[in-house]
Amino acid sequence: ATELGPASPRRVGALRRNSLTGEEGELAHVSNWPLYYLFCFGTELGNELFYILFFPFWIWNLDPLVGRRLVVIWVLVMYLGQCTKDIIRRPRPASPPVVKLEVFYNSEYSMPSTHAMSGTAIPISMVLLTYGRWQYPLIYGLILIPCWCSLVCLSRIYMGMHSILDIIAGFLYTILILAIFYPFVDLIDNFNQTHKYAPLIIIGLHLALGIFSFTLDTWSTSRGDTAEILGSGAGIACGSHVTYNIGLILDPSLDVLPLARPPITVTLCGKAILRILIGMVFVLIVRDIMKKITIPLACKIFNIPCDDVRKARQHMEVELPYRYITYGMVGFSITFLVPYIFFFIGIS
């Protein structure tokens, strides 16, 4: 689909530059643009932009219970995948012969592919969590799983970021994790909501896991990604604890299951769009404010020069609290602050 060559009007010039390492991708001619854009979409299904839209959409508009439990599974799968990468330490495919159309995660190790793990865990978990809870033909889920999983997995090979072995390892690793831990997802979610000391336990456990992951190997973007994942999971769990205890969001009783899809009306769609717009603006404002506060504060506390933010963030003392606190507040906003705003203005 691609070949190396000089810059041209239709070269791949909008590659996702890694702002932390300064690395940029190769210039390449693309002869099959529909395939290129298809796999760009597939790889985005495992990136931050997708997650920050996907999980809030489930929690705000579809089913908070399914959204929370998807987050629990995602945090577990991604954390184990990131840590396993740093234990195995298999390098990315060499270039050449591979043409790397993406370099954002190039500083991380390769096996297992966490994109493949996410692309396997999310669709399978969606079907497991919704079938029987919602009324829909199972065939829809059986079509969704291979399509979603194949698109994400093949996109990583096309982009030059993983070998076929990395993809297979990520897929099989995810199946193993789901087989072992999926039976406990309900228990974990109920604990997060109902246990008196759940917030303290959640914050302490996720912080300890973050510190452990930072000691596995030298710095790479996986360090910050892992802290971001753990912080988001902790924030969403703590937010769900607060919303449950004040009665802001209550899950439907088991007596009314399976749930039927409500009729699609202009009012329903309008409220959904309004919730997404208001919610995402608030979440992005929270993320930006916390980033501007936590990085200089961590530099000051640990006496780390802050004139070069990129270098400062490569210190564990800065990156761990910055990512953990910032995305912890993002997660807390998603499950408590934003739903409270919806309730206050009458669009919940």
Q: Hey, which residues are catalytic here?
A: 115, 162
Tokens of 213: 């992951």
Give the burial class of 159: count Cβ atoms within 10 A of its Cβ; 0-12 exposed, 13-18 middle, 19 or more buried.
Answer: buried
Tokens of 314: 């490569």
Q: Residue 196 is inside which H or E element, if any?
A: none
Which are the contacts of 67, defined by CB distance < 8 A and separation ≥ 6? Answer: 55, 56, 58, 59
Tokens of 341: 């705003």
Residue 205 CB: number of other CB atoms within 10 A? 14
**Cα(322)–Cα(306) distance, integer angstroms:** 13
Give the burial class of 29: count Cβ atoms within 10 A of its Cβ; 0-12 exposed, 13-18 middle, 19 or more buried.
Answer: middle
Q: 249 — alpha (psi -120 to 50), left (phi > 0) or beta?
A: beta
Give the burial class of 208: count Cβ atoms within 10 A of its Cβ; 0-12 exposed, 13-18 middle, 19 or more buried.
Answer: exposed
**Cα(120)–Cα(178) distance, integer angstroms:** 10
Q: Residue 162 is inside which H or E element, if any?
A: none
